[in-house]
Structures are given as C-alpha cells and as structure tokens.
Structure 1
Amino acid sequence: MTSSGAGVAWYDRNAPGLADQYEGADFETVHGWLLPLLDGSTDGPVLDIGAGSGRDAAWFAARGYFVVAVEPAANLRAEARARHPEPSIAWLDDRLPELEAVTARGQTFSLILVSAVWMHVLPVERERAFETLVSLLRPGGLLAVTLRLGEPDAERGMTEVTNEELVALGAAYGLELVHNGVSADALGRPEVAWGEVALRKPA
C-alpha cells in the first residue's frame, strides 16, 4: 500500500469477503510461474508484502520457511491471523515505500514477494519503494512482483503499472532479470491480467 494509506480503508471494509476470495485461488494457480525459480538459493526467510488473507505466507510456512507477512489493512490482517495461525509467520502492520517496521528488524530475505501491491504504490514513491526492497534482499535473493494490468480501480487506490517499469528499475539497481511474463487472472476476470517480474540480486 502507499504511504498515504489510499485504499487501505476499502480493504478493511471488505476484509471477510476479500479473504474468502483470495483463499479460493491456491498458490500454485496464482504463482505457478514462480515455482521453477524457487531453487536452493531461496532457502528463507521470506518477506510477503501485502499478504492479504495469508494464503501465500501459509504456503511458504508449510514448506519450512519463516515468513514475515506485511499487511497494512487491520481487518484483513486479523482475518489472515485467524485463518493461518502458524508460528512461523510473523505479522506486521507496515507499508511501502519505507517498510519501517520490517527494516527495524534488521533482517534480510532470500525471497521478497510483492503480489498485487505495486499498483497501490504512488508513481512518485516507486523508486524509493524499490530501493527499500533491494536493501532488504540478500545477495543472491529473488524479488518476485505481480502487477495488476488493466484499468486501475481508483476506489481501491490503484494507479497504472507496467512490467517495463519494474524491469527498468531492476536494471538501474543492478538486478538480473530472470522472468518477465503476463498471465490471465486466476479469478477469471476478463478485464484483468497479471504481469510477472522476477529479479535476482547478484550474489
């Protein structure tokens, strides 16, 4: 989410229904493109930014990862805690571009997942947000981003995003592009597609 909190109130108001919706699509369906990239260099911990219902954090926790799950919408975070009480998930109230609570932990991550979040980061804050992500990524670590393509939903605080923007930021910060693709919406919405960008930090 943005530092201004645009859209957070919408997610809070709709938290139960959104959590049901998110839980209705499994990790492998939504992030199948990412599975081949989870090799031995991605051994944890994992940072899940915009963790929503906790579906993705729980998937990683079930496979032995320790996960720091960031979700700024309090009601959605409460839904996620109730649905996924795994002790290997640490829940934080935090947001881009600064991620102050995450940074204060003094921890770096082998995988950072930014799923369905980037469109909530204001364009003027994106370079700072990207710099923060790079600073939290371990050498050899993977940054995986999904981008909601299509007409932005202003009520939810969305703005336009493109794969090309992420690819350019990755190049500017010396990250290696390892995946750049687009997939259909897992919930079957014809007006929405998802960009997929994965970048690796040099070891």
Structure 2
Amino acid sequence: MYKGIHSVPVLFDFQWQTPHSKHEYGLPPIGDDVQSFYRFPRHTNPKQDRHLWEVKADFTKAIFVANCLGKRFIEVSQDLDFFEVCKDFIAFLPSKPARILDAGSGAGQNAAALAQEGFTVTAVEPMPEFLSAARKRYKSASITWLKGSLPDMACLNMGTAQFDFVLIDGVWHHIDSTEREMAVIRLSVLIKKGGICAISLRNGPAGLGSRVYPTDTKFTIQQFEKHGLLCIFEVQNKSSILPNKENVKWARIVLQKC
C-alpha cells in the first residue's frame, strides 16, 4: 500500500434477496464474495493516479456484476411458481379475502399470486430495485407495495393486529439473532388471534451473500412460542428448487397465534 493512503472499506450487499450461489443465475463468479474491501486514496499525487484508477476500475466491475446479479435475480424470481415454492403453506391459507402480509416480498411473485387468488395483500420489501420491478411486472394486481424491512417494518401501523396470514419466504436467514428476536415480537403484534405465520428457513453455504446467517428450526419455534404463536406444522431437509443448490436445505414451519 502506498505511503499516506488509508484503507476505506466498501461494502456492497443485496441484504435480503441476494443470490446465494455464484453460478445459479448463469453468471461467472467475481471472487470469493461480492463483499470486497477496496483501498481508496484520500490524498493522491500524480504518481498514484494509476493506482487510483485501477481501484476505481475494480470497484466499477464489482458494482456492474452485482447489478447484473440483481437483474437476473428478479428474472428468476418472477418465473417461480408460488404454488410450487410454497406448496407446504397452501393448506394453511385463510378464507378469502383475508389480509395477507408478504414480509420481504422480493420481486413480488408471491404477493402477486396471492392477490390473484383473491386475498388482500400487503407486500413489504427493503430493496427499491425489487419493489420497482414488482410494481412494473404486477401493476394490474391489487397489492399495497411498501418499502420497509424486518425486524420493525415501520411502514406498517404500529401496535395493531392487522393480518390473518404472514408469509416470510426466503428472508429469515438474512437477519441476525438480535433482529430475529425483535421480528418475532413485532409479528406477534401484527398477526390477528388465530392468524398464521408461515416461514421458510434456509441452511447451507452463503455463496455470494455477505449477510447470511444459519437458522435453527427448533430455536425459531421456541422464540415464537414465547410470544404466543404455536407451531402447527414443521418439515425439514427440503431441497432447493433452484439449480446448483445441492448443499442448500430448507425447513418450513407454520405457526398460529393463540
């Protein structure tokens, strides 16, 4: 490193909906992880210009590939069939036109399928790119699209039981243990008495994701039980429906508020 140049960490992370395999979307890897640390000179002189431009080029490449991954993720997600991906949850859907929350709605395919079935759907997603893609693709669907995220989902009214059913598909592994505890408390308030919370739990290599945490089905169930949601369905070791995900397994749980 050049004398007088300080290291400034630069982090790029899709957070909730990052693709987790370097090859699953048909794009080449760009290194061990999208999360990379680049050295940016805070003070330069002409002799250091070449180094600066090399760093900028590397950073631009990382952002370009990450943007490609985001676009590819949207395409792949919107091609998924809700009734295949979430088939374990179908039997627990409430009567129409019950209110459903899709927490971490990604590219919007699950919310759109539920709206088409006649449910009143609210979709919450933190990534503006994904929200925009969802609104564009499913503009005819009667869905309330909101920018927000677990654990607080501040975009929703506070302190009121609003939903008959909450779907959390492919999200829980993107929030850490502290956020999960906060999310359980928040969900216990948002769900009506007798209402359902359906969650998919991912375990396996993180791939390109830099914000991916292991999940524990038993512990997750215990967390919800402490706040009045009892497990009424559990299945484990389900294979991913995406290619190149042999080492990724899913558990699915359904909880009901007492």
- Give the alignment's TM-score, normalised by structure 2: 0.70
Q: Match of 1:75, SS?
A: helix
Q: Match of 1:52, SS?
A: coil
Q: Match of 1:101, SS?
A: coil
| Displacement after TM superposition at 1:71 (Å) | 0.9
**Within the alignment, does 1:94 sit opposite 2:148 as a pair?**
yes
| Displacement after TM superposition at 1:137 (Å) | 0.2
Question: For the pair shown, which has the larger CA radius of gyration, 1 or 2?
Answer: 2
**Within the alignment, does 1:71 sit opposite 2:125 as a pair?**
yes
Paired with 2:158 and 2:178, the residues of 1 have a C-alpha distance of 24
Percent identity (aligned): 26
Q: Which runs of 4+ in 1 moved over 4 A?
A: 9-12, 104-107
Q: How does 1:104-143 map to 2 (within 5 A)?
A: 104=158, 108-143=162-197
Inter-CA distance 8–150: structure 2 relative to 1 (3 Å threshold): closer
Paired with 1:179 and 1:90, the residues of 2 have a C-alpha distance of 28
| Displacement after TM superposition at 1:7 (Å) | 3.4
Inter-CA distance 165–103: structure 2 relative to 1 (3 Å threshold): farther
Q: Give CA-to-partner distance per residue, 1:146-185, whole Å, 9 cap, x none.
A: 1111123473411111211221112211212111112210
**In 2, are the aligned partners of 1:58 and 1:89 still within 8 Å (CA)?**
yes
**In 2, are the aligned partners of 1:94 and 1:101 still within 8 Å (CA)?**
yes
Match of 2:107 in 1: 53
**In 2, are the aligned partners of 1:72 and 1:94 still within 8 Å (CA)?**
yes
Paired with 2:17 and 2:82, the residues of 1 have a C-alpha distance of 24
Candidates 14, 37, 55, aligned match of 1:7: 14
**In 2, are the aligned partners of 1:15 and 1:79 still within 8 Å (CA)?**
no
**In 1, are the aligned partners of 2:16 and 2:174 still within 8 Å (CA)?**
no
- Give the alignment's TM-score, normalised by structure 1: 0.88
Gaps of 5+ in 1: none
> Could you tell which deviates more after superposition, 75-84 or 5-14?
5-14
> Could you tell which deviates more after superposition, 6-15 or 146-155?
6-15
Q: Match of 2:228, SS?
A: coil
| Displacement after TM superposition at 1:104 (Å) | 4.8
Gaps of 5+ in 2: 1-11, 19-65
Inter-CA distance 127–154: structure 2 relative to 1 (3 Å threshold): farther
**In 2, are the aligned partners of 1:65 and 1:88 still within 8 Å (CA)?**
no
Count, aligned residues: 197
Q: Give CA-to-partner distance per residue, 1:30-51, whole Å, 9 cap, x none.
A: 01111111243x7521100111
**Within the alignment, does 1:145 sit opposite 2:152 as a pair?**
no
Q: Give CA-to-partner distance per residue, 1:2-54, whole Å, 9 cap, x none.
A: xxx963498583332111111222011101111111243x7521100111111
After superposition, the CA RMSD in angstroms is 2.3
Candidates 223, 228, 231, aligned match of 1:169: 223
Q: How does 1:174-193 map to 2 (within 5 A)?
A: 174-182=228-236, 183-188=238-243, 189-193=245-249
